[in-house]
C-alpha cells in the first residue's frame, strides 16, 4: 500500500526518457499498464508494470470488457493506484518528459480565477500570444477573441480544485487542424495558475493531469468513441459534474516537454471529428442530466445515459462504464 500520488501511463514501447524520469521520482509511484503490443520484457527501475496477465489477475470486472490495444488500458492502472491507496492520480503519457521542477499546485487555496458562466474559453491564450487552441475547443470560437480570458477579468478567489491540467511545451496538445495549417513549436509563458469558475470551461486532456481522490470515478476513459475523442469527452463530461459538487478545474504553466510519438495528422483529423462536432452538445447533455444531491459516480452514470440518448456514445459504452463504476466503488469509499 502507498498513499503517494500515483502517476499512470499506458505504453506499447520500451521505457522512454519520460518513463525513466517519472520512475525516478521518490515522491510518487509510477504505474505503467501494458497492452498486447507492449514488449514482453518491460522493466524500469522504480516503476510498477502491469502486464495483461497481471491485469487479469487483479480480478477487476472492467478487464472482461475493456478493449485491447486501446488507450483506455490506462484504467487498469487507475484501479491499481486506487487499490494501493493513492490520494491523487496523475495522468500522463510516455512522450511527456517532466521538467526537473515538475509538480502541481495545492488542491485547495487562493488562485487567479475566471468570471463565471463565460462558456468555452481558450486558456492557451493566457499562456502564449501565439494563435493556438487546445484539442476539443469549438472551431467556431477559434477567431472569437471574446472567448479569450482577459487578464483584468481574473480575480483571486479561494477554490477547491478537483483537477489540475498542466500544459506541455514544444508540441502541446492541439488538434490536427492546427498541426496541418501551422504546427509552430510552442513554449508557453511561465505564470501563475488559472482556475475556471462554474459555467466557464476549457477542454483538458490526459497528458499532464492531476485528479483528487473524491473525483476518481471521473477518470473513466470512454473506449467506444474515436481515439482522439476519448480523453476530450472525459474532460467535457467532468466539468459540469465538478461544478455540481463544488470542485473547480485549474490550468498550470507547462511542467513537461512533449517529444511526441509519430502521428499521421490526417488520421488524427479523422479521429477528431467528434471533437469538432459535439463539445456544446456534450456540455448541454451532461448539465441537464446531473443532480447535485447524488454522488459523483451516479452523476457520471446519468451523464453517459444522456449522451447515449444523444447518440454521442453507444449502449456498449454504458456497459463498460457500469463495470468501471462497480470496480471503483469497491476501492474508493
3-state percent helix, strand, coil for the chain, nearest multiple of 5: 40, 20, 40
pLDDT at 296: 98
What DSSP element (H or E) covers 286?
Answer: helix 279-289
pLDDT at 214: 98
The dihedral through the CA atoms of 315, 319, 325, 326 has a sign that is positive
Q: Is there a contact between 156 and 112 (Cβ–Cβ < 8 Å)?
A: yes
Last residue of a domain, one of 94, 126, 142: 94
117 and 67, same domain (yes or no): no
233 and 324, same domain (yes or no): yes
**Concatenated DSSP letters of 40-102:** SS---TTEEEE-HHHHHHTT-GGGGTSPSSSGGGHHHHHHHHHHHT-SEEEEE-TTEEEPTT-
Backbone angles phi and psi of 218, in degrees to 5: -75, -5
Q: Residue 40: which residues within 8 A CB-CB, separation 6 or more?
A: none
Q: Is there a contact between 120 and 134 (Cβ–Cβ < 8 Å)?
A: no
251 and 311, same domain (yes or no): yes
- Residue length of the chain: 333
Q: Is there a contact between 282 and 312 (Cβ–Cβ < 8 Å)?
A: yes
What is the bridge-based pairing of β-strands 155-169 and 248-258?
Answer: parallel
CA distance 254 to 184: 16
Residue 310 belongs to what domain range?
Answer: 101-331
Last residue of a domain, one of 94, 110, 125: 94
pTM: 0.97
37 and 132, same domain (yes or no): no
300 and 265, same domain (yes or no): yes
pLDDT at 23: 97
* pLDDT in 10s for each residue of the chain, 333 residues: 678 999 999 999 999 999 999 999 999 999 999 999 999 899 899 999 999 999 999 999 999 999 999 999 999 999 999 999 999 999 999 999 999 999 999 999 999 999 999 999 999 999 999 999 999 999 999 999 999 999 999 999 999 999 999 999 999 999 999 999 999 999 999 999 999 999 999 999 999 999 999 999 999 999 999 999 999 999 999 999 999 999 999 999 999 999 877 789 999 999 999 999 999 999 999 999 999 999 999 999 999 999 999 999 999 999 999 999 999 999 987
pLDDT at 3: 82
The single-letter DSSP state of residue 292 is T
Q: Is there a contact between 42 and 49 (Cβ–Cβ < 8 Å)?
A: yes
270 and 126, same domain (yes or no): yes
CA distance 333 to 331: 7
Half-sphere exposure in the Cβ direction for 49 (13 Å, CA):
19
109 and 77, same domain (yes or no): no
Instruction: Put residue 184 in one of left, alpha, beta given phi > 0 → left and psi -120 to 50 → alpha.
Output: beta
CA distance 75 to 66: 9
Strands (E), the chain: 6-10, 29-33, 47-50, 88-92, 96-98, 108-113, 119-120, 155-169, 194-196, 200-201, 208-212, 248-258
Domain count, the chain: 2
Cell numbers describing residue 279: 463539445
Cell numbers describing residue 59: 480480478
pLDDT at 2: 74
pLDDT at 317: 98
202 and 174, same domain (yes or no): yes
Last residue of a domain, one of 94, 127, 150: 94
5 and 137, same domain (yes or no): no
83 and 149, same domain (yes or no): no
Write the pLDDT tens digit of every residue in 221-259: 999 999 999 999 999 999 999 999 999 999 999 999 998
293 and 242, same domain (yes or no): yes
**Location of C-alpha cell 513549436:** 185
245 and 125, same domain (yes or no): yes
Which residues are paired to 96 by β-bridges? 258
CA distance 308 to 189: 40
3 state SS of 246:
coil
The dihedral through the CA atoms of 275, 162, 252, 103 has a sign that is negative
Amino acid at each position: 500500500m502507498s498513499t503517494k500520488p500515483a502517476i499512470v501511463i499506458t505504453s506499447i514501447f520500451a521505457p522512454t526518457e519520460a518513463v525513466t524520469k517519472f520512475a525516478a521520482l521518490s515522491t510518487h509511484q509510477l504505474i505503467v499498464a501494458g497492452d498486447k503490443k507492449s514488449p514482453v520484457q518491460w522493466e524500469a527501475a522504480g516503476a510498477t508494470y502491469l502486464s495483461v496477465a497481471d491485469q487479469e489477475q487483479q480480478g477487476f470486472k472492467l478487464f472482461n470488457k475493456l478493449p485491447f490495444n486501446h488507450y483506455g488500458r490506462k484504467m487498469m492502472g487507475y484501479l491499481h493506484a486506487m487499490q494501493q491507496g493513492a490520494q491523487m492520480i496523475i495522468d500522463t503519457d510516455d512522450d511527456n518528459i517532466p521538467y526537473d521542477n515538475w509538480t502541481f499546485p495545492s488542491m485547495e487555496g487562493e488562485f487567479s480565477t475566471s468570471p463565471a458562466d463565460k462558456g468555452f474559453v481558450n486558456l492557451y491564450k493566457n499562456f502564449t500570444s501565439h494563435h493556438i487552441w487546445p484539442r476539443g475547443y469549438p472551431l467556431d470560437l477559434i477567431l472569437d477573441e471574446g472567448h479569450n480570458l482577459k487578464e483584468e477579468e481574473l480575480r483571486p478567489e479561494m477554490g477547491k480544485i478537483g483537477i489540475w491540467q498542466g500544459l506541455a511545451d514544444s508540441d502541446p496538445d492541439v488538434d490536427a487542424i492546427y498541426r496541418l495549417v501551422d504546427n509552430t513549436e510552442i513554449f508557453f509563458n511561465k505564470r501563475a495558475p488559472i482556475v475556471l469558475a462554474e459555467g466557464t470551461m476549457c477542454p483538458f486532456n490526459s497528458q499532464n493531469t492531476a485528479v483528487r481522490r473524491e473525483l476518481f470515478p471521473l477518470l473513466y476513459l470512454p473506449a467506444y468513441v474515436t481515439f482522439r475523442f476519448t480523453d476530450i469527452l472525459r474532460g467535457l463530461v467532468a466539468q459540469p459534474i465538478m461544478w455540481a459538487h463544488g470542485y473547480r478545474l485549474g490550468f498550470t504553466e507547462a511542467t513537461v516537454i512533449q517529444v511526441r510519438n509519430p502521428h499521421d495528422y490526417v488520421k488524427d483529423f479523422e479521429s477528431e471529428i467528434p471533437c469538432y462536432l459535439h463539445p456544446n452538445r456534450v456540455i448541454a447533455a451532461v448539465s441537464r442530466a446531473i443532480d447535485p444531491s447524488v454522488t459523483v459516480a451516479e452523476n457520471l452514470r446519468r451523464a453517459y445515459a444522456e449522451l447515449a440518448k444523444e447518440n454521442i456514445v453507444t449502449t456498449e459504452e454504458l456497459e463498460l462504464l457500469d463495470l468501471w463504476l462497480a470496480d471503483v466503488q469497491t476501492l474508493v469509499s
